[in-house]
Amino acid sequence: MRSGPLLFLERMFTDVTFAWYRHFQNFIAFFIFISCIGIAVETLSDVAEHHHQLMTIVENVTLGVFILEYVGNIYFAKHRLKFVFSFWGIIDLLSILPSLLLFADTQALRGTRVLRVMRVLRVMRVLKLARQALEMLGSQIAKNRNPLLINLNIYLITLFAVMMMSSSLMYYAEGELYAPHSLIEGQAALDASLQPGDEPQIFMPHDPISGNPIPEDKRFFTSIPTAMWWCVVTLTTTGYGDMYPTTVLGRVVAAFTMFAGLILFSILMNIVGKTIMILLFGETLDNQEQKDASADQKLGAQARDNPRATAIVLLEKDHVLTPEEAATIARRSAREIREALLPLAR
């Protein structure tokens, strides 16, 4: 049995009813947002060049926070090995492993494709927000708050997660093919392959799957923030047509984004519909839930006071009997109860 600081830390990591658990989750969520902003901003070549040192510091601090959270989750888990191989345990690991490997800067990671995969995996950090949304929905704390606010918070978290993942995947699937560093490396490789006396050529990026060239007027996704504009247009089913993918992987990402947009739209309509119904009837969901809970407690008390009245209580809940009829029948003898139920069974 833990006590003192260890008990405090254990409750902070595992007890959803503990106040500091929510504070800690908000602290982690803040660094998730900071990390996602850093991942997006580093694709802006001018900003990344002028603020490289600041972005490196932010990434290292964020990485340290996520490592501490991962170690704490393992240490205070009831079944540590089970947590490590669970879905959320793998997500926690993937949120720190790419940065650790990039920080190590080993020779095996110097390939362009490997680096691209490592950078894409860092976006998995945004899925940590999904776990917080699920905990918010299922915890007892959520039941004491306005369900509309809970649903709206979950919707906004899901929207941000989908936007971040879709825009990042689109950039790394297509945009990085014609990023400035990719064009410089491609031009250098092309110049090295030319024989003496050959005419100079301009490097043209190609789709790695179909082999189709990507002309300059079709290079839309130059950064993650730019891809976010396309993501907003796609998720809202607007479809301006000013930006669209031209590679196979880009179109796969676009298809995923379109289906996600339909799902998010249906969730939003559900929230708006509930809000309209509440405004029309002038009753909050909190009051309705309190009435339902009070009725359940009243019926349960009747059943406990008179076990023979259990069937009557169930009939009352199904609106077969009125409360007055149920209370009257419950005070009768077992024979009288059977006689009262016979007409209902015919």
Whether 121 shows a pLDDT value over 80: the answer reads no
Q: Is 346 helix (H, G, I), strand (E, B) or coil?
A: coil
| 251-262 tens-digit pLDDT | 999 999 999 999
Name the token pair of 174.
């297509």
* Angle, CA of 273, 274 and 276, to the nearest 5°: 65
This prediction has a pTM of 0.71
Nearest alpha-carbon partner for 40 in 273, 321, 229: 229
| 44-75 tens-digit pLDDT | 888 878 888 888 898 889 989 999 999 999 98
Cβ burial, residue 276 (10 Å; 0-12/13-18/19+): exposed
CA distances from 123 to 83, 161, 214 (A): 21, 9, 25
pLDDT of the residue at 197: 77
Distance CA 319, CA 309 (A): 15
Cβ neighbours, 10 Å, residue 254:
20
Start-end of H helices in 123-179: 127-138, 140-143, 147-173
* Domains recognised in the chain with CATH numbers: 1-141 (1.20.120.350), 145-282 (1.10.287.70), 285-345 (no CATH)
Question: Residues in the chain, how many?
Answer: 346
Cβ pair 246, 214 in contact under 8 A: yes
Q: Is 213 helix (H, G, I), strand (E, B) or coil?
A: strand
Cβ pair 22, 132 in contact under 8 A: no
Cβ pair 51, 57 in contact under 8 A: no
Nearest alpha-carbon partner for 165 in 221, 231, 239, 87: 231
Query: Confidence class of residue 282 from pLDDT cuts 50, 70 and 90?
Result: low
Least confident piece of the model among 18-27, 102-111, 211-220:
102-111
Whether 250 shows a pLDDT value over 80: the answer reads yes
pLDDT of the residue at 140: 47
Name the token pair of 155.
């919707």
Q: What is the DSSP letter of 207?
A: -
Least confident piece of the model among 77-86, 90-99, 319-328:
319-328
CA distances from 93 to 68, 75, 99 (A): 11, 14, 11
Cβ burial, residue 313 (10 Å; 0-12/13-18/19+): buried
Least confident piece of the model among 116-120, 124-128, 202-206, 240-244:
116-120
